[in-house]
Amino acid sequence: MKCRQEVESFDVVVIGAGPGGTTVASYLIRAGLTVLLLEKQSFPRFHVGESLTGVAAEIIADFNLTDTVNSYDFPVKGGVKVIGKGAKNEFFVPVMRSTWQVRRAEFDRILLTHAKSQGVTYRQGHVKSVLKTGERVTGLTYGILEETDEGTRHVVTKTVHCQVVVDASGQSTVLSKLGVAGPRKKSDQFNNDVAVFAHYQGVERDPGTMGDNTFIFYSHIHHWSWFIPITSDKVSVGCVLPKNRLVQCGSPEETMNWGLENINPELKRRMHGHTPMGKVHVISNYSYEVRPFAGEGWICIGDSHQFIDPILSFGVSMAMSDARAASEAILQSLASGSFQAPFLKYCRRSETGQRTAHEIISYFWKYPTFFGYQMRGKLRQDIIRLLSGDIFQPEQFEAIKLIRQGLSSANDQVKAA
């Protein structure tokens, strides 16, 4: 291995080419900045997180990519069907705007191809460290594989200077690990969960367009499953269970079998006799937050600063929505010469959305039938909007007031006990 130093300069450097990174890069290049996008993996690559909300579809439309995404034959998602404990009740929540169930390898590559076509400089490089002048982040170093004239490959360390570093590194939480952003704090409520997931072929779906929707099967908190169609005959199925179930079962495959057998009888019926199409993936410790997540010359978006729980399928949309808001904050900062006010506004918005999502999820697990009941009642429109990702101005919703009251009285009861 041989290392040498080269220095270049961009307005913004983005770490990670997931949906957050490519979206922020595309917005910034559109505004006339120079952008370097660094990604450590070779694309296309597998990624969990296949069900989108209308928020992602809105940004796709803003990039004029709707026809491109449609040409991939991703199932069109019209909503989410929730099938309750023992399959004794169910309800359906439509989306506000038609969206897709995507194969992430292809979806992320569509966004990356778009970013590159707009002028974003892209390199497959692994970010290693940040450069600082006092408290301000002014660049970073990354390792990149290069080939010599003789055909040998070696890692070259490159240095890049910039005005802003955007961390879009997902669960790698690069700026937190490098001590720039705050430490990664585990979620109190969902940190003991593990998710096991795989793709299956030929599994029974509902007839017609209903079969293209997301299905959530549950029995009780920490025991639920997603069922997301990703082609006309393949579904992504995942089971979320307490971590000790993985220890008891001994392998991801056995944990998956246990979940399919025990979470919900309707899931069991549909999955009977089916085997995964490849590896059963496993992921744990995915619920956390990083505070602070923006500062002088740096800002975190998407999973690089927070992820709660996948049940609402908000992850990709949150990353893309953070990306759009962060690009506005960066442009305002560079125009005004100060990061403070624009980055504070960005952080408040993102925290509000994450807090609302957390409240919805917590309430769902305390009173799971509330949402089905309200879908037939006067709060139907509130529930549809909230579960579609309209979570940044929660005070406008009567449903959120009820949810907050319910959570607060449940907390009071716990304290009194």
Q: Which residues bind ligand FAD (CB under 6 A)?
A: 15-21, 38-41, 47-52, 126-127, 168-172, 174, 195, 238, 283, 286, 302-304, 307, 310, 313-317, 319
How far apart (Å, rounded) are the C-alpha atoms in residues 189 and 201?
Answer: 33
Cis omega before residue 183 (within 30°)?
A: no
Residue with smaller CB distance to ligand FAD, 57 or 379? 57
One-character DSSP codes across 155-183:
EEEEEEE-SEEEE--GGG-HHHHTTSS--
How far apart (Å, rounded) are the C-alpha atoms in residues 378 and 93?
Answer: 14
CB of 284 to ligand FAD, least distance (A): 9
Tokens of 29: 């290049």
Residue with smaller CB distance to ligand FAD, 144 or 249? 144
Sequence-ordered list of residues with C-beta below 8 angstroms from that of 13, at least 6 positions apart, any chain: 35, 36, 37, 38, 139, 140, 160, 162, 164, 165, 166
CB of 260 to ligand FAD, least distance (A): 16
| CB distance 80 to 384 below 8 Å | no
CB of 402 to ligand FAD, least distance (A): 26
Residue with smaller CB distance to ligand FAD, 313 or 379? 313
Tokens of 156: 């070259």
CB of 48 to ligand FAD, least distance (A): 5
CB of 261 to ligand FAD, least distance (A): 20
Residue with smaller CB distance to ligand FAD, 326 or 383? 326
Residue with smaller CB distance to ligand FAD, 350 or 362? 350
- Phi/psi of residue 130, nearest 5 degrees: -110, 155
Residue with smaller CB distance to ligand FAD, 173 or 257? 173
CB of 291 to ligand FAD, least distance (A): 17
